[in-house]
Amino acid sequence: MRTARSSVSRKLILAFAAGALLAQHAGVVRAASDSETAGDVLRVAIPAAAFALTVKRDDRDGRMQFYKSFGATVVGTWALKETVEKERPDGTGDDAFPSGHAALAFQGAAFIHRRYGIREAWLPYVLATYTAWTRVDADEHDTTDVLAGAAVGIASSFILAKRRNVDVTALVEPSTRSYGLQIVGRF
């Protein structure tokens, strides 16, 4: 018998994998190194996993909060890039500040944290941190750029998402004619 925690972990891993496949299929991944490719994939996969959690849990309020948080991250990042016009370390443009990769990755991780708790967010935070590191490693950004991107993503999620206080699940086992209701709350 699988536990609820292992089921959630499996579904998070599947969501990350699905995001990675979608990113590759859509042509998002065109990186020069393996770490840069991983960063390109994770910037899509982490928010995709956050969105997938809202779908899996039939959390309509959370889904709307995700849309707002994600949109605020995209608009905030774009506005800062257009306003600040900071040169990239590799000299390829003047849109280094803040890092969009870090902003999106941390938005997804922070959304999971804010809505569902830190226990489900630790892995996305680790992967978001790795995503930020890949941008510095690829010489696309410096530390200030990725820290600013992380701040934009985290702030949008913590401002626009609310903690889910009660989770209600119907338990049905037709073979044994067992029925029940599980209510889990955070106080």
Q: Each residue's pLDDT tens digit in the chain (187 positions)?
A: 455 555 555 665 556 555 555 555 444 444 456 778 888 999 999 999 999 999 999 999 999 999 999 999 999 999 999 999 999 999 999 999 999 999 999 999 999 999 999 999 999 999 999 999 999 999 999 999 999 999 999 999 999 999 876 666 677 777 887 777 766 665 4
Domains of the chain as residue ranges with CATH: 4-185 (1.20.144)
* CB-neighbour burial class of residue 30 (10 A; exposed 0-12, middle 13-18, buried 19+): exposed
Distance of alpha carbon 182 from alpha carbon 57, whole angstroms: 13
Please state the pTM of the whole predicted model. 0.73
Distance of alpha carbon 81 from alpha carbon 70, whole angstroms: 17
